[in-house]
Structure 1
Amino acid sequence: KVDGGSRRWGSQFLDPVVSVYEGTYDSKADYDAMKPANTLKLDKFGGVHPTLYPGGGVHVTRGFVQVKETGIYEFRPGYGGSTNNIMEVDGKEVHRKEVGEDPVRAEIKLEAGKKVPFKITYLSKDANGLGWIVRMDVPGALSTLVKHKGMYTYLMNEQGQWVARDDVWYKGVIAAAGSRWLGVSGSRIGPELGFGHVIGDHYDKPVLILKTSQGNRSLSWDFLPPGSKRFEHGGKIYAGYKESPLSWEKGADPKPINWYAGKQYDDCFGAAHEVLDNFDKQFPHWKGRGYKIEGFAWWQGDKDRYNEGHAIQYEKNLVHLIKTLRQEFKAPDAKFVVATLGQTAKDSAKGNEKLILDAQLAVDGTSGKYPEFRANVATVYTHPLSQGGASNSHYNGNAQTYMDAGLAMGKAMIGLINP
């Protein structure tokens, strides 16, 4: 997660009153010393349907703020045109957005249960009680790590704003959709953020990070690569590519469902082909340049843990996946980086989790098990990088886990590209 998550404000504000002053906003005017033309106590401030402002002049809202938890907060007052305002909390300016300009915000530490005054001065005729409040020092959130822990400082400028790279483009399809210069956008990040920074720092030419993904999918069923054959385990037959259902009793006739082995593979990599087949249209800023696939990165395995047959077959399927992707995308020399599940430790893994960990470690070119992967496949052991939680809980949304895993995968990729 990027921060504590913005939520509509409301109950944190006490005794809000809006005063209306004649004329249009004047930056030199002292509205605290002026007599308002109209004053209205706001029965509802914030939420979805706040009390309507009177209109007809310069609106200034005053009252008190009282939070339930001690912490560092950011205020985002207004919606649409009403974001053009200046907000002060406890005498400190926490938000300023001039008309036509980007907002400038400052965080403020507030104590639980302590009432402090606030004031919002609206700079245009658009004024209302809508607004959002964000806890900025939530443990594990990216904003906490950058602003208060001094980590990954390159993600933010001196004004406390997230900055994007101008040499690495992010394109996400299926899930995590997006098309923009690589940077923090929205409320969540993935390993591609750290990965993209490492790759971008290495090259002096533009980089495309193409992410095609979908959560809660297994390699041995949803992402099963083309050409995979059915197999038998525990008295059951497990589906091969394009077969359905997932498994059936040996000797019985399979009864297909509305999904088949490899459906997610087809969807995700079909979407990747669609992007690359229309490269100039997708990336007009690179029109005519063409592209070269340098590598693939794979961080997966959670769902395979819940099926012994899938866990046993994981290594065979992972080897086949690596070879199939290189062949399908006509990139035989592309490097391949695999990351292990963060919760799985080498010295304590058992059962299905050990099978998957061992499979992921086995494809590393230095293991010697697959000579054809020497110097072109690397596995990142992420357990030392995990800050807690597990893959099925997205590591509790801890941004450090995702950043460090992405950085490590990027370094592993560069190690293969430039040994």
Structure 2
Amino acid sequence: ACIGNRSLGWDLLPPGSERFEFEGKIFAGYKDVANFWDKGTEPKPVPWYAGRQYDADVAHAKAVLRNLADYYPGYQGQGYEVAGFVWWQGHKDQSAALASRYEQNLVRLIHSLRRDFQTPTAKFVLATGCGNPGTEGFGKQIAEAQLSVDGDRGRYPDFKGNVQCVDVRDLWRTPDQSPVNQGHHYNHNAETYYEVGDRLGRAMVQLHEAKK
């Protein structure tokens, strides 16, 4: 899936995520129909729900897997393997409430994707990112949350050898080095996108080669 303007704490909220309170407001749990509301009041529904983008992405991917021959002309029913997942996201979670839950939501996301695709040992690689340099404020908080799930960090022992986060904050390029001034799209800098993809790919290869 590739889509903009989506947060892990709302649009992509994984199944099982619970409501939480932050500074006098209640924030949505999975399938809630309001992003947040004042404590002690009832949520006002919107035409969306927490986790809807997660559900749609998973459903679309499963639909492709059920009909691979329609998407890969050379497919002859030989089967397939979901070898891993790649994640690069974070811009829309830059608020005090969502940034505070990013690590928790990310851990749940990893478990949820593996469960939904029945691949408990599938590798998971991610890159730091939130559409800014990630060196201060919510951007830094999100980058630190992303780095914390790396299996080598030791915070999550079950992620050892199967989850890796690559720090790509050094690949941020300023507007004067880029086609446009649009931070949430990395200023449309082709070098940034190319190098981030390269690092993610190498991380995935590294995880797979390590298990041999």
The two structures share one fold, judged by TM-score above 0.5: yes
Cα 1:289–1:270 change in 2 (3 A) is same
Structure 1 match to 2:154: 368
Structure 2 match to 1:217: 6
Partner SS, residue 124 of structure 2? strand
What amino acid is aligned across from residue 280 of structure 1 in structure 2? A
Equivalent position to 1:355, from 141, 155, 173: 141
Tell me the alpha carbon deviations over residues 376-412 of structure 1, each in whole angstroms, 9 at most, x when there is no partner.
0000111112223587441121111100000000001
Give the helix-richer structure, 1 or 2.
Answer: 2
Look at both structures and tell me which one has the larger radius of gyration over its CA atoms: 1
**Structure 2 CA distance, aligned partners of 1:344 and 1:377?**
23
Equivalent position to 2:127, from 339, 344, 360: 339
Partner SS, residue 78 of structure 2? coil
Residue segments in structure 2 that go unaligned for 5+ positions in a row:
176-180
| TM-score, length-scaled by structure 1 | 0.47
Q: Contact 2:132/2:139 (CA < 8 Å) preserved in 1?
A: no
**Structure 1 CA distance, aligned partners of 2:120 and 2:100?**
27
| TM-score, length-scaled by structure 2 | 0.92
Structure 1 match to 2:197: 406
Percent of aligned pairs with the same residue? Answer: 49
**Structure 1 CA distance, aligned partners of 2:103 and 2:145?**
4
Q: 1:333 deviation in Å?
A: 1.0
Aligned ranges 1:219-238 → 2 under 5 Å: 219-238=8-27
Residue segments in structure 1 that go unaligned for 5+ positions in a row:
1-211
Q: Contact 1:339/1:381 (CA < 8 Å) preserved in 2?
A: yes
Partner SS, residue 296 of structure 1? strand
**Structure 1 CA distance, aligned partners of 2:123 and 2:79?**
19
Structure 1 match to 2:172: 386
**Structure 1 CA distance, aligned partners of 2:196 and 2:139?**
19
Aligned ranges 1:55-134 → 2 under 5 Å: none
Structure 2 match to 1:183: none
Q: Contact 1:344/1:357 (CA < 8 Å) preserved in 2?
A: no
Determine whether 1:417 maps to 2:203: no
Aligned ranges 1:15-54 → 2 under 5 Å: none
Determine whether 1:329 maps to 2:101: no
Partner SS, residue 228 of structure 1? coil
Equivalent position to 2:163, from 372, 377, 393: 377
Q: RCO (CA 8 Å, sep 6+): is it higher in 1 or 2?
A: 2
Structure 2 match to 1:109: none
Cα 1:392–1:385 change in 2 (3 A) is closer
Aligned-CA RMSD value: 1.5
Aligned ranges 1:214-363 → 2 under 5 Å: 214-305=3-94, 307-341=95-129, 343-345=132-134, 349-363=135-149
Cα 1:283–1:268 change in 2 (3 A) is same
Q: Contact 2:132/2:184 (CA < 8 Å) preserved in 1?
A: no
Give the strand-richer structure, 1 or 2.
Answer: 1
Q: Contact 2:21/2:27 (CA < 8 Å) preserved in 1?
A: yes
Q: Contact 1:223/1:262 (CA < 8 Å) preserved in 2?
A: yes
Q: 1:350 deviation in Å?
A: 2.9
Q: Contact 1:343/1:388 (CA < 8 Å) preserved in 2?
A: no
